[in-house]
């Protein structure tokens, strides 16, 4: 490559990187806004419609059911329609769902609006990271995952703040409807994005793929290299379903991904995300304080995510998960105990809020970002789309069940007992992490795949081969040959 052609190429790819970053930011932000917005709106919805806790639980949780459905069809849609059109569809549903929620005349319509929103999020949360992985340069792919999670937390915080500001008027319709604005921005952003060159090549549309790569890379050598690399990758077709049926080792990684996402949801994080004001109400706070404390929860969630970003490649995945689960078990256990004993004085109130924040730090510095990272690292290449699809789908189903069951649990077994239950789950996860979770820090994805397929125990699939181990080399050679 000549020096003169290198300069424009660098400029071009910088523009492309900025574009994909903006997209990542918007998709993650949408995800977070929708998770966060219902916390502050629900008490006003309940008063306005005069509904009981069961109906309210459905309004809160049906969105996650929609997201599970959206994630389920997203794989098929994004391979048929393309990544860009699937994201456009997601964005349109997102705007439509937000408006419908804002104007809903009855609880039933509100439930439909939340379901539509969920489908939008399911589509976007599957397709946007896929698009990013296909378009973003290799060097920033890791950063993209962290950035995506960070934007989710920023979205949650933004929704908590907007709810707090609007809570003085109690205007829940505006709280839900205003999210159509970032949705419209996402739609606009996606409309200007090029289609993924990988998808175009999958469909045999090479001239269009070259045009896109011309915009992204801007120089002929780089374009030719990229085209031949993509074609090389496409020689390994995805056949996850078949592989799942035939290969017991692959089934282990799929189940591990599913388990990891169940663990993430059963930490109880979303109980706090959806019902924080209700929990603060149980501590004796008035509406205004409930809203402000919820906003503080959102802020702590954002800030603690930086701890994970800073530590994940230094300390490794497992130590961070251990610390996180211990902190979460203690945090929730103590909050539950305080609720049980009775929170009466200001000092007791502050201490209990403080311990809830400790729990949030525990999640945001560990299971929040790390479970997503692990789920994308443990799947072998041929089954990666299928494996990640299964774990993402599980995330939403578990998320739905957590949202749906919290208020019934609260009303039947009590607030302290419900929190103790989640604290106990976190304690169990310390053991499961030891027993089943691999350490994947500093290991290539190919090595993880080789260990998995050689039948190593799950918690060892991240081990590097001993340089002198000829047995291991022999095994690797056999794997490569098969
Ligand atoms: C989880 C969401 C959760 C969010 C909170 C994500 O990693 O998947 O369910 O609401 O973190 O920050």
Mean pLDDT in consecutive groups of 10 residues from the start of the chain, 482 residues? 36 64 79 90 94 94 94 88 92 96 97 96 85 70 73 93 91 95 91 88 90 81 85 78 94 97 97 91 91 95 91 88 98 96 93 97 94 89 86 93 93 95 98 96 87 95 68 47 42
Residue with tokens 């069961």: 54
The rounded distance, in Å, linking the Cα atoms of 34 and 36 is 5
Model pLDDT, residue 414: 94
Q: In this structure, what are the phi and psi dihedrals at residue 369, rounded to the nearest 5 degrees?
A: -80, -35
| Whole-prediction pTM | 0.85
Model pLDDT, residue 143: 66
Pocket lined around ligand 1, Cβ cut-off 6 Å: 35, 149, 152-153, 156, 264, 269-270, 273, 301, 368, 395, 399
Which residue's alpha carbon is nearest to atom 1 within ligand 1?
A: 368
Alpha carbon separation from 322 to 26, 36, 327, 381 (Å, rounded): 31, 27, 9, 28
Which residue's alpha carbon is nearest to atom 7 within ligand 1?
A: 368
Q: In this structure, what are the phi and psi dihedrals at residue 440, rounded to the nearest 5 degrees?
A: -110, 5
Which residue's alpha carbon is nearest to atom 6 within ligand 1?
A: 368
Phi-psi region of 477 (alpha: psi -120 to 50; beta: other; left: phi over 0): alpha
Q: Which of 36, 71, 270 to mutate to test the pocket of ligand 1 (most atoms within 8 A of CB)?
A: 270
Residue pair 399/265 in contact (Cβ under 8 Å)? The answer is yes
Q: How far is the CA of 199 from the centre of ligand 1 (A)?
A: 29
* Residue boundaries of the structural domains of the chain: 8-193+236-481
What burial class does residue 204 get, using C-beta atoms within 10 Å of its C-beta: 0-12 exposed, 13-18 middle, 19+ buried? Answer: exposed
Q: Which atom of ligand 1 is nearest to the CA of 399?
A: 9
Q: Interior CA angle at 354 toward 168 and 327, to 5°?
A: 130
Model pLDDT, residue 481: 45
Residue pair 196/320 in contact (Cβ under 8 Å)? The answer is no
Residue 335: how many other CB atoms lie within 10 Å: 30
Q: 436: which 2 tokens?
A: 């089943």
Q: How far is the CA of 453 from the centre of ligand 1 (A)?
A: 30
Q: Which of 30, 65, 273 to mutate to test the pocket of ligand 1 (most atoms within 8 A of CB)?
A: 273
The rounded distance, in Å, linking the Cα atoms of 91 and 175 is 18
Q: Which of 27, 30, 35, 365 to mutate to test the pocket of ligand 1 (most atoms within 8 A of CB)?
A: 35
Model pLDDT, residue 10: 47
The rounded distance, in Å, linking the Cα atoms of 204 and 231 is 10
Q: Which superfamily does CATH assign the domain made up of 8-193+236-481 to?
A: MFS general substrate transporter like domains (1.20.1250.20)
Model pLDDT, residue 153: 94
Helix residue spans in 192-247 (DSSP H) = 197-202, 206-216, 220-234, 240-246
Q: How far is the CA of 372 from the centre of ligand 1 (A)?
A: 10
Q: How far is the CA of 171 from the centre of ligand 1 (A)?
A: 26
Q: How far is the CA of 90 from the centre of ligand 1 (A)?
A: 19
């Amino acid at each position: 490559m000549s020096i003169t052609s290198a300069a424009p190429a660098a400029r071009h790819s910088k523009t492309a990187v900025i574009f994909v970053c903006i997209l990542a930011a918007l998709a993650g932000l949408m995800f977070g806004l929708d998770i966060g917005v219902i916390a502050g709106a629900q008490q006003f919805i309940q008063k306005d419609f005069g509904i009981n806790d069961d109906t309210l639980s459905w309004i809160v949780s049906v969105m996650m059911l929609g997201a599970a459905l959206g994630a389920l069809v997203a794989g098929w849609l994004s391979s048929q329609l393309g990544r860009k059109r699937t994201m456009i569809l997601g964005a349109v549903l997102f705007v439509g769902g937000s408006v419908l929620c804002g104007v809903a005349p009855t609880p039933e319509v509100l439930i439909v609006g939340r379901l539509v929103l969920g489908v939008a999020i399911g589509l976007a949360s599957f397709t946007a990271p896929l698009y990013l992985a296909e378009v973003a340069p290799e060097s920033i792919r890791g950063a993209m995952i962290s950035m995506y999670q960070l934007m989710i937390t920023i979205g949650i915080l933004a929704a908590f703040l907007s709810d707090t500001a609007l809570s003085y008027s109690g205007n829940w319709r505006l709280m839900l409807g205003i999210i159509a604005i970032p949705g419209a921005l996402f739609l606009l952003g996606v409309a200007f994005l090029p289609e993924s060159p990988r998808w175009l090549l999958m469909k045999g549309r090479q001239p269009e793929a070259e045009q896109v790569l011309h915009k992204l890379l801007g120089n002929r050598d780089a374009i030719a290299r990229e085209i031949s690399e993509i074609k090389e990758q496409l020689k390994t077709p995805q056949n996850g379903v078949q592989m799942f049926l035939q290969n017991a080792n692959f089934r282990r990684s799929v189940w591990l991904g599913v388990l990891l996402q169940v663990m993430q949801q059963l930490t109880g994080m979303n109980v706090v995300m959806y019902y924080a004001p209700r929990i603060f109400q149980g501590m004796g706070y008035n509406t205004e304080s409930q809203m402000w404390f919820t906003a503080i929860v959102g802020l702590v969630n954002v800030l603690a995510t930086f701890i994970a970003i800073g530590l994940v490649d230094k300390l490794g995945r497992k130590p961070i998960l251990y610390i996180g689960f211990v902190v979460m078990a203690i945090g929730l256990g103590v909050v539950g105990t305080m609720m049980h004993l009775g929170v009466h004085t200001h000092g007791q109130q502050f201490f209990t809020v403080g311990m809830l924040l400790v729990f949030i730090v525990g999640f945001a510095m560990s299971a929040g970002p790390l479970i997503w990272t692990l789920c994308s690292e443990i799947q072998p290449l041929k089954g990666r789309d299928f494996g990640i699809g299964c774990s993402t789908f599980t995330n939403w189903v578990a998320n739905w069940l957590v949202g749906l069951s919290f208020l019934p649990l609260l009303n039947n077994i009590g607030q302290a007992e419900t929190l103790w239950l989640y604290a106990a789950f976190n304690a169990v996860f310390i053991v499961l992490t030891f027993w089943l979770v691999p350490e994947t820090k500093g290991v290539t994805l190919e090595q993880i795949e080789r260990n998995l397929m050689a039948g190593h125990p799950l918690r060892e699939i991240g081990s590097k081969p001993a340089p002198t181990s000829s047995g291991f080399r022999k095994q690797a050679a056999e794997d490569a040959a098969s």
